[in-house]
């Protein structure tokens, strides 16, 4: 089955700097890669996703890149703000005509210091 | 209906007791997923339904766990003869089979087994 590894486990950045989180996956059939943000005591919420036919996707300060050959994808947050502090999870899913289960990474605790 | 809801939000039980959780997905969503999340980890897939059909169940899931979605709307997750290792946050998510693939998560049920 799919295995997703995520690094680093914790990331401390100064406000205004960039943050990068990296994930690798094992199943070459995986073709949907979402990123979720989870604030303390709250539910995971999707912040961006990418499909395997796309190499990069941006949404304001957030971008995700995908390298299918190397089987890794990354989340980039630019101009970080204190409200970006949370745990971020990457995930991978193999889609056979419809949307299937997600295999999550272990998470990255991001702390943005003013 | 503004999102996925779960009840109860918290459950404390003694070892050996049975517990049941309920999930109400977003009304038009035909896919429903159960995940378990322990402290410091990403959500772990348990099972999912398309309408009332249970399409997949994790091989890691003990026979003490059972889930139903009798009318293709709400779902219940039952744990029989609870053990201390069952203590976790149980998350429900829903998605639309023909949608973007995004899974919308509920707030979770926090289970504590004493």
Question: What 3 state SS string does chain A have?
Answer: CCCEEEECCEEEEECCCCEEEEEEECCCCCCEEEEEEECCCCCCEEEEEEECCCCEEEECCEEEEEECCCCEEEEEECCCCHHHCEEEEEEEECCCCCCCCCEECCCEEEEEEC
Model confidence at B19, in pLDDT bands (50, 70, 90)?
very high
CA-to-CA distance for A44 and B85, rounded, in angstroms? 23
- Percent of chain B past pLDDT 90, that is, above it, reads 79
Nearest CA in chain A to B41: A106
Q: Measured between beta carbons, which residues in chain A are less than 8 angstroms from residue B91?
A: 43-44
Cis peptide before A79 (omega within 30 of 0): no
Nearest CA in chain B to A46: B102
More confident residue, A77 or A98: A77
Model confidence at A65, in pLDDT bands (50, 70, 90)?
very high
Average pLDDT over residues A45-65: 93
Alpha-carbon distance B48 to nearest alpha carbon in chain A (angstroms): 7
Element (H, E) at B88: strand B88-95
Mean pLDDT of chain B: 93
Nearest CA in chain A to B33: A101
pLDDT (0 to 100) of residue A96: 54
What's chain A's length in residues?
114
Closest to B31 (Cβ–Cβ): which among A49, A89, A99? A99
Alpha-carbon distance A74 to nearest alpha carbon in chain B (angstroms): 17
> Looking at the complex, does the CB of residue B54 fall below 8 Å from at least one CB of chain A?
no
Whether the per-residue pLDDT at B60 is higher than 90: the answer is no
Whether the per-residue pLDDT at B98 is higher than 90: the answer is no
> Looking at the complex, does the CB of residue B98 fall below 8 Å from at least one CB of chain A?
yes
Average pLDDT over residues B98-102: 75
CA-to-CA distance for A73 and B96, rounded, in angstroms? 25
Whether the per-residue pLDDT at A47 is higher than 50: the answer is yes
> Looking at the complex, does the CB of residue A54 fall below 8 Å from at least one CB of chain B?
no
Whether the per-residue pLDDT at B47 is higher than 90: the answer is yes
Mean pLDDT of chain A: 92
Alpha-carbon distance B105 to nearest alpha carbon in chain A (angstroms): 6
CA-to-CA distance for B45 and B112, rounded, in angstroms? 19
Q: Cβ separation of A98 and B98 shorter than 8 Å?
A: yes
> Looking at the complex, does the CB of residue B2 fall below 8 Å from at least one CB of chain A?
no
C-beta separation of A52 from A94 below 8 A:
no
Whether the per-residue pLDDT at B1 is higher than 70: the answer is no
pLDDT (0 to 100) of residue A99: 54
Alpha-carbon distance A109 to nearest alpha carbon in chain B (angstroms): 9
Alpha-carbon distance B16 to nearest alpha carbon in chain A (angstroms): 27
Region at A68 (left for phi over 0; alpha for psi -120 to 50; beta for the rest):
alpha
Closest to A106 (Cβ–Cβ): which among B41, B91, B108? B41
Model confidence at A98, in pLDDT bands (50, 70, 90)?
very low
pLDDT (0 to 100) of residue A29: 86
> Looking at the complex, does the CB of residue B91 fall below 8 Å from at least one CB of chain A?
yes
């Amino acid at each position: 089955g799919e295995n997703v590894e995520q690094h680093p486990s914790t990331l401390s950045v100064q406000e205004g700097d960039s943050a990068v989180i990296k994930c690798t996956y094992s199943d070459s059939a995986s073709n949907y890669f979402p990123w979720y943000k989870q604030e303390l005591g709250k539910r995971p919420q999707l912040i961006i996703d990418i499909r395997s036919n796309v190499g990069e996707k941006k949404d304001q300060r957030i971008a995700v890149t995908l390298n299918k050959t190397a089987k890794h994808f990354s989340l980039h947050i630019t101009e970080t703000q204190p409200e970006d502090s949370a745990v971020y999870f990457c995930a991978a899913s193999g889609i056979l005509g419809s949307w299937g289960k997600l295999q999550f990474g272990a998470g990255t605790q991001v702390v943005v210091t003013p | 209906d503004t999102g996925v809801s779960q009840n109860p939000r918290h459950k404390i039980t003694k070892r050996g007791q049975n517990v049941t959780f309920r999930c109400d997905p977003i009304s038009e969503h035909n896919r429903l997923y159960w995940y378990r999340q322990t402290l410091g980890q990403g959500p772990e897939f348990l099972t999912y339904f398309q309408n009332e059909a249970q399409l997949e169940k994790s091989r890691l899931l003990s026979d003490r766990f059972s889930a139903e979605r009798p009318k293709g709307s709400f779902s219940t997750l039952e744990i029989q003869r609870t053990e201390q290792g069952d203590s976790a946050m149980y998350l429900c998510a829903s998605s639309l089979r023909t949608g973007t693939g995004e899974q919308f998560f509920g707030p979770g049920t926090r289970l504590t087994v004493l």
